[in-house]
Structures are given as C-alpha cells and as structure tokens.
Amino acid sequence: MSKKIGGAMKARDPKPIQDMAKEETELGADYLDLNIGPAKKNGTEFASWIVKVVEEVVDTPISLDTTNPEAMIAGIKASKKPDKCLINSITIQPERLEKLGPFAAEIGCDVVALLWGAEGLPRDANERAALAVELIAKLNEYGIPNEKIWIDPIITPITLGAEQLKESFIFLSMLSEIAPGAKTTVGLSNVSNGVAFRLRPYLNRVLLMMLMKYNIYSAIVDVYDKELVEIAKGKHPDWVALVHKMMDGDEVDSKTLSPKELEIYKTVKVLTGETIFSESWLEI
C-alpha cells in the first residue's frame, strides 16, 4: 500500500482512493481488492466507508480483503451489489468460517477459500488437498456451491526456495478432480516478497504464465504493470508457450532466444528450483 493511500484511509479522505479505483478500472481490473488488513479499530465502520467510497465512482465488483469477520460482513452489506462481491477470505478456523460461511451463503456472493490450516501453511500438495476437501465440504454444507468458491493454495516467496511453489503447482493439477467447478486464485506478488522492487515484476509475470498451465482462474495483480496485464489478457501466447515447454521438460536452446525470451527462460529456472535464487539471476 502506498503512503498516499494509507494516509487517505487513515484520514478518511475519499479522493485518492477514488482516483486509484478509477485508474485501476481503466487499466483492466475485473475486481478491486480492498485490503484493509485486520481493521481492529473501528473495523466495521471503516469497511462500510471504503466500500461506499469506491462504489461511488466505479461499478467494478469489490473483493474485500480483511481478517476481521465483523468488518467483512459490514463492508459486504454496505455494497450496492453484495451478491457480486468477493469475500477474501474464509479459512478453516472456526472463528472465521462459522461467521462468514452462513453469511456468504445468505448473500449469495463468491468466497476465497484460503488454504491456511490449524497449523499454518500446508507442507505439501497432499496437505493442501486434504485441507481443500475439508474446507469445501464445510462451505457446501452452508449452501455455497463449488462454483462460488475460489481456492487459494498460498504462494510463498521465492526467497524461501521453490519447493512450496512446486507443491502448489502439483495441488492445482489435482484440483479439478478434488473439487469440480471450483475456481482458483492467488496473491501473485507473494512470490516476490522481499526481493528488490525493480526485480519483482520479472518474477510476478513469469509465475502468472506458469500458473496458466494449471488454468488459474484469477490472481491479485498489479494492474499498473502493463506487461503483466497483457499476459493476463492473453496477449503474449508465444511467451506462455515457452514457459510451458520448459515446465514440460522439453529442451530449449537458450542461444536461440531473444533477450526477452532469455529473461523469461532464466526466471522459469529460478521458479522451478533448477537455479538457486539470488537477485543476480538475470545476469547469470
């Protein structure tokens, strides 16, 4: 979050928030993710306020992102079209699930099912699958169909290694059998957390192309990154084909690649764990 927006939220100044909402809509956002964090102080009032402020200037659906269930409910209720909102997110933790599950079913909105278990991050694809089955079953019991559930396997920073990324990919390849009709989403920039700002877009873009192999339905992205949005909108099929070829284990002669393709090639190697991550990976 920029200092400008953070300050506007604290001061309840609508203009910078509305300007950004209009900009992001014009840049191609399908949803606007309003991340208000834990919102412990005046959370219900603040969530209602920011949803109303954004909806005064755009019709783009809202994804409300908070760990405060009461604030979530207040914010969604404040929307002009609560059934078009996205709850981001519901976890298996009873304090969130038991409040937000019945509410989402009543309102008819979609929900992000975040795969964060009682012991935290699942260790591998099988633990993700088991948690997904449990969480989806609970949501189904409340009356939320698979088609309204967006599964988030949780993307981890590449600075921690590539193993968790691999496990997320394996899980995503299993999901259509585990939960037919369910959608998928990720916080894309998680992969580049802790990396120098100038290098983050390279990782984010290539990860999105890798996720496309598993028919990722959505991702929270930086719409100010024009190239990233172009990838999301399907405008660079040759790049995507190169990434998927490498993921399939097909041989690629790096000497035949253009500078842009070589950048992608090197980044795939980092994100698959073939090359150990360092901030000089593009120079190697």
pLDDT tens-place string over residues 24-71 = 999 999 999 999 999 888 999 999 999 999 999 999 999 999 999 999
Q: Is residue 115 part of a domain?
A: yes
Question: What would the pLDDT profile of 161-186 be if each residue is shown by its tens digit?
Answer: 999 999 999 999 999 999 999 999 99
How far is C-alpha 55 from the geometric centre of its chain's CA atoms?
Answer: 22
Q: Is residue 271 part of a domain?
A: no
Cβ contact 43:64 at 8 Å: no
Q: Which domain holds residue 94?
A: 3-230
**Average pLDDT for 198-214:** 99
Q: Is residue 167 part of a domain?
A: yes
Order of strands across the sheet that contains 62-66: 32-37, 62-66, 86-90, 110-114, 149-152, 183-184
Does position 1 have pLDDT exceeding 70, yes or no? no
Q: Is residue 76 part of a domain?
A: yes
pLDDT of residue 2: 72
Q: Of 181, 236, 174, whose CA–CA distance to 205 is shortest?
A: 236
Number of domains in the chain: 1
What is the CATH number for 82?
A: 3.20.20.20
Cβ contact 265:246 at 8 Å: yes
- Burial pattern 52-74, b for ≥16 Cβ within 10 A else e, equals ebbbebbebbbbbbbbbbebbbb
Q: Is residue 148 part of a domain?
A: yes
Question: What would the pLDDT profile of 2-36 be if each residue is shown by its tens digit?
Answer: 778 888 988 999 999 999 999 999 999 999 999 99
pTM: 0.96
Q: Is residue 262 part of a domain?
A: no
Show the DSSP H helices in the chain as ranges. 3-11, 14-26, 43-55, 69-78, 94-107, 125-142, 163-178, 200-212, 226-232, 237-247, 259-271
Q: Is residue 107 part of a domain?
A: yes
pLDDT of residue 113: 99
pLDDT of residue 135: 99
Q: How large a percentage of the chain has pLDDT more than 90?
A: 95
- Mean pLDDT (the chain, rounded): 97
Q: How large a percentage of the chain has pLDDT more than 70?
A: 100
Q: Is residue 88 part of a domain?
A: yes
